[in-house]
Structure 1
Amino acid sequence: MKDVCKSIILLLSTLVISGKSFSQEELAVLEGPYIGQKPPGLIPEVFAPSVSTEYRDWGGSFTPDMKEYYFGRRNNNSGKSSNVVFKSNNNRWHESIVPWGGFISPDGKTMHNGKQFRERIGDGWSELKSLGPLFEDFRIMRLTASLKGTYVFDEVGTNGDGILRYSRLVNGKREAPRPFSEEINTGKWTAHPFIAPDESYIIWDSERDGGYGDSDMYISFRQEDGSWGAAINFGEKINTDGEDGGGYVTPDGKYLFYCRRCVPPDFEIMWVDAQIIEKLRSK
C-alpha cells in the first residue's frame, strides 16, 4: 500500500537566508514545541514547518533541550543543497541557513557528520574534527551514538549495498568497528541507523525480501542476553512501495521521525507517535 502525501500548507512566506531576521509581517510566527506543529497520533503525518515541493528534506536532529532542529534540504530545481536550523527563542522559532548539520549526540555535546564531528561551543559548534584512524577507511553516511558512547553507523559499499557497524567505548577506549549480525545485516542498501540512547533498540532501513517497497524501515530490540532480536518491519502505516528511511526518535522519546519519498523526486520528513515502537516491541 502506498500512502498519499498530505497537502502541505506553506507556513513560511520567506526563508531566512544567512541568519537574517525578518519582521512578523514577512514571516509566519511559529510558536510552541516541535516548531509549532500539531503532534500526530499513530498515523504518520508530514512534519511541515517550512516545506515546499520544490525541496527535498532529509535527516533531522533535535538538540536534547528540543530548542534547536537541524536538517538537510536540497532544491530539486537548482540541485543546490543546504543545511537548515530552526531555533526557539522566547518560545518563537526562527529559521536560518547554516554551514553544518548532522546527528546530535544524546548529551548534546557532539554533532556527528559521517566520520567527522563538531563539538558544542556555547550556542554554536566547533570546526570539523576527525573521528580518527579507526574510521578513515569507511564510507559513512550516518553515524549515531548512545549515552554510553557506542557508535552505530552505515558502511556504504562500492556497489551501493551497505552494512551496519558498531564501535563501543570501553573504559574510555574506542574499540575498532565491528559488523552487526545477520539479524540486522541482511538485504540491500542497509543504511541510516539510529541507536536508542539506552541501546534498547536500533532502527535502520534496507531492501529486504517481503518488504513493501524500495526501502523499508526496520527495528531490532536488544534481548536479555545482550544479542539483537530479529528485524521487525515497521508495517504498512510507515512503509510504502517507495523509499522510507532515515528514522530516529526525538530526544524526549515521544516521536519517530523519518523520510518518505512522496512524488519522485520529492522527499518529505514524516513523524508519528513513538508508541508505535512499543507496539512492535510487544511482538
Structure 2
Amino acid sequence: MKQRYIFIALPLAALAMCSKGYSQDYLPLPDGSYLGQKPPGLTATPFAPGIVNTAEWGDAIGFSPDMHEFYVYRWRHTQDAREPESVTYKRVGDSWQKIVMQKGWRKPSYSPDGNTLYNRGKYKQRTAQGWSEFKSLGPAFEEIPIMGLTASAQGTLVLDENARSKGGEGILRYSRVINGQREAPKPLPQTINTGLWNAHPFIAPDESFMMWDGVRDTGYGESDLYISFRQKDGCWGEAINLGDSVNTSAEEGGPQITPDGLYLFFNRMVPAADGSANAQSDVFWIDASFIETLRPKS
C-alpha cells in the first residue's frame, strides 16, 4: 500500500526558540483522502484516532470547499487547562502537511463556492487581488453572540447564539438575500427552535435540509443531533432526531456534511484519554447516505 505522510510545521514563535532550526516529523498514513482514514459505514466511528482524536480535545472541525484543507479548532475546556493546539491539515501534492495555528485562530466558515469567508457577524470576499477586508453583515448580526454560522449556495445564512451570553436565547436564526439586499436575521420556526436550546447549525448548499444540535425531553440524554427537511411549500418540517446510529446518552454536537456530500462529521463527549474522570470532545464521522432514510415520504 502506498504511504502518505504528514509534515509537521511549527509556528513562528516555536521556530524562534530553536537555535538549530526545527525538526520535521513524518507520520506515515495510508494513501487517500480524509487523512488516509478508512471510510466509515452507517454507524458513527471516531475519526483519525491518534491524529485528530488525541488526549487533547477534538472540538470543532471543518473543511475548505475544495477539500484540500481540514481544520481542527481546539480551546481550553477548563480554566486551569493548558492552551491546546489548533491545527490545519493541508494537502500538498501526495502528502498532508500539519500546520500548528497561532493562538486566537478560529476555524474558517466558507460559502459553498469558497468565495465568501464568514467570522461571526462579519465577512470578506475573494477578489482577483485576494481577500477583501472584513465587512459587517449589519448591526443586527453584530448584536448577536454568534458561535456558528453556515451559508447555502443561494446566500441564505443560518446562525446560532451563545445561550450563556448575556441576553442569549439559544435559538437559531436565518437571513436571506432578497433583491440583492441582506435581510436582518429572523428566528426559525418553533419546529426547530424547541427545547432548552439549539446551536451549531448546518444548512445544505441547496437548502434541502438543515441540521443542528439541541436539548429536548425526547432526546437520548444530553444534546442530540437533529434534522429538518425543506417541504414543498418552502417551510421547514418537524425536527427529526438522527437516531441511535449517531446519538447516544452522551453529548453530541456540531454536525456538518463534507463538501463532497459523502460524510457527516460531528463531536461527541467521550471519556478522557488521560484516564481522568473528565470527558473530552472527540470527532466522529458516518456515511451520510442514511440521511435520505429520514426524509418524510409524504
What TM-score do the two structures reach when normalised by structure 2?
0.82
CA deviation vs aligned residue, 1:212-247 (integer Å, no higher than 9, x gap): 011000000000000111100011121111110100
Aligned to 2:62: 61
Alignment of 1:226-265 (within 5 A): 226-263=234-271, 264-265=278-279
Return the match for 2:87 from 84, 93, 106: 84
Aligned to 1:6: none
- 2:95 is the counterpart of 1:95: no
Aligned to 2:47: 47
Aligned to 2:120: 114
Q: Post-superposition shift, 1:67?
A: 0.7
Aligned to 2:274: none
Q: Post-superposition shift, 1:279?
A: 1.2
Kindly tell me: are residues 149 and 129 of structure 1, through their superposed partners in 2, closer, same or farther at Cα, counting changes over 3 Å? same
What TM-score do the two structures reach when normalised by structure 1?
0.86
Q: What is the identity, as a one-letter code, of the residue corresponding to 1:33?
A: S
Structure-2 separation of matches of 1:242 and 1:276 = 21
Aligned to 2:158: 152
2:75 is paired with a residue whose SS is strand
Q: Post-superposition shift, 1:118?
A: 4.5
Q: Post-superposition shift, 1:189?
A: 2.3
Kindly tell me: are residues 91 and 126 of structure 1, through their superposed partners in 2, closer, same or farther at Cα, counting changes over 3 Å? farther
Kindly tell me: are residues 13 and 135 of structure 1, through their superposed partners in 2, closer, same or farther at Cα, counting changes over 3 Å? closer
Whether the 8 Å contact between 1:72 and 1:81 is mirrored in structure 2 is no
Whether the 8 Å contact between 1:256 and 1:271 is mirrored in structure 2 is yes
1:190 is paired with a residue whose SS is strand
Kindly tell me: are residues 102 and 82 of structure 1, through their superposed partners in 2, closer, same or farther at Cα, counting changes over 3 Å? farther
Q: What is the identity, as a one-letter code, of the residue corresponding to 1:246?
A: G
Moved more, 153-162 or 255-264: 153-162
Whether the 8 Å contact between 1:219 and 1:234 is mirrored in structure 2 is yes
Alignment of 1:186-205 (within 5 A): 186-205=194-213
Whether the 8 Å contact between 2:252 and 2:268 is mirrored in structure 1 is yes
Whether the 8 Å contact between 2:46 and 2:282 is mirrored in structure 1 is yes
Aligned to 1:18: 11
Larger Rg: 2
Structure-1 separation of matches of 2:168 and 2:43 = 31
- 2:280 is the counterpart of 1:266: yes
Kindly tell me: are residues 82 and 103 of structure 1, through their superposed partners in 2, closer, same or farther at Cα, counting changes over 3 Å? farther
Structure-2 separation of matches of 1:82 and 1:117 = 25
Whether the 8 Å contact between 1:134 and 1:177 is mirrored in structure 2 is yes
Whether the 8 Å contact between 1:190 and 1:207 is mirrored in structure 2 is yes
Aligned to 2:275: none
1:57 is paired with a residue whose SS is coil
Calculate percent identity across the aligned residue pairs.
Answer: 47
Whether the 8 Å contact between 2:151 and 2:203 is mirrored in structure 1 is yes
Q: Structure 2 stretches of 5 or more lacking a match?
A: 16-21, 272-277
2:294 is paired with a residue whose SS is helix
Structure-2 separation of matches of 1:121 and 1:94 = 26
Whether the 8 Å contact between 2:145 and 2:168 is mirrored in structure 1 is no
